Amino acid sequence: MNNLGVIFKRELGSYFATPLAYIFIVIFLVLSALFTFDLGGFYTAGQADLNAFFSFHSWLYLFLVPALAMRLWAEERKSGTIELLMTLPVSRVDMVLGKFLAAWVFVGIALLLTFPIVITVNYLGNPDNGAIFTGYIGSWLLAGGYLAIGSCMSAATKNQVIAFILSVVVCFIFIAAGIPMVLDFFSTWAPQWLVDAIASFSFQVRFSALSHGVLELRDLLYFLSLMAGWLFATAIVIDLKKAD
């Protein structure tokens, strides 16, 4: 457990050692503002909530989070440091979790830096701050799901670009599972339980509940088990492919 903290610290520090962290944060903030105020119609909606802000997060993360996750393992494999890391007395769990948590906390920091929008909405009206808080938690969980997928894809290849593309595709499948268009396609021929099952796997469906301020245990469990599953897969993929 001690080594988990050491790995976590090194990883988090490494984001800020290069311009990567700052570029990521700036792009994230600019895009989320653009989506909220322009596409989301934050002002014209005339409502004191952050639905316009959160509703685009699943799409925003689709490209930004894989860009962050792609380096997690691919870079270690490319530079050969994976051999150093894996011959140090560090357990797989500490490695995989330490790296993941560092990336997740980093996204959390970026997310917290959107605080001016909370101030804005409180200045303009009387929003339900509990719902906003739940929305933030939901958004962070969503990012965690994307990151866990990205971590696994990054472990599968030396090439960061391939890792990025694979993560985007897999994450997209998880979003697409909840789009009405996709569900309509299935509902024409598939039994209802299958359509429900597909929809229940969707980021979109789970996240929209959270972003509207509804924190349910099953949604929380969904995201946590999704992360656990993909991180477990990461550990397996690393063991299989580490020396390639």
Partner 1 sequence: MISINSLTKRFGEHVAVDNLSFDVKPGEVLGFLGPNGAGKSTTMKMLTGFLTPDGGSASVCGFDVQSQILQAQQQMGYLPEGAPCYGDMRVKGFLEFIAAIRGFSGAEKHKRVARAVEQVELQSVLGQRIETLSKGFKRRVGLAQAILHDPQVLILDEPTDGLDPNQKHHVRHLIQQLAEGSNKIVVISTHILEEVSAVCSRAVIIGHGRLLADGTPEELEARSRYHQAVTLTLSQSVDAVDTQALQQLPGVLAVESQRDGQQLTVLAKPGEVIFPAVGQLAREQQWQVAELSVERGRLDDVFRGLTSGEAA
The yes or no reply on residue 1 touching partner 1 (CB under 8 A) is no
- Applying CB under 8 A, which of residues 22, 38, 79, 228 lies at the interface with partner 1? 79
In whole angstroms, the minimum distance from the beta carbon of 104 to partner 1 comes to 20
Taking the complex as a whole, the smallest distance from the CB of residue 106 to partner 1 amounts, in Å, to 15
Please state the length of the chain.
Answer: 244
CB of 138 to partner 1, least distance (A): 33
Phi, psi of 48 (to 5 degrees): -90, 70
Which residues neighbour 104 within 8 Å (Cβ) at sequence distance 6 or greater? 140, 143, 144, 147
Exposed / middle / buried, residue 88 (Cβ in 10 Å: 0-12, 13-18, 19+)? exposed
Q: Does 22 bind partner 1 (CB under 8 A)?
A: no
From 1-9, 51-59, 101-109, 152-160, give the range in contact with partner 1 by CB under 8 A. Answer: 1-9
- Among residues 118, 115, 106, 139, the alpha carbon closest in space to that of 210 is found at 139
- Can you tell me the distance from the alpha carbon of 235 to that of 216, in angstroms, rounded to the nearest whole number? 29
Q: According to the binding rule CB under 8 A, does residue 23 interact with partner 1?
A: no
Q: Kindly tell me which of 91 and 122 has the beta carbon lying closer to partner 1.
A: 91
CA 29 to chain centre: 15
Binding footprint of partner 1 on the chain (CB under 8 A): 2-3, 6-7, 9-10, 13-14, 17-18, 79-81, 83-84, 86-91, 239, 242-243
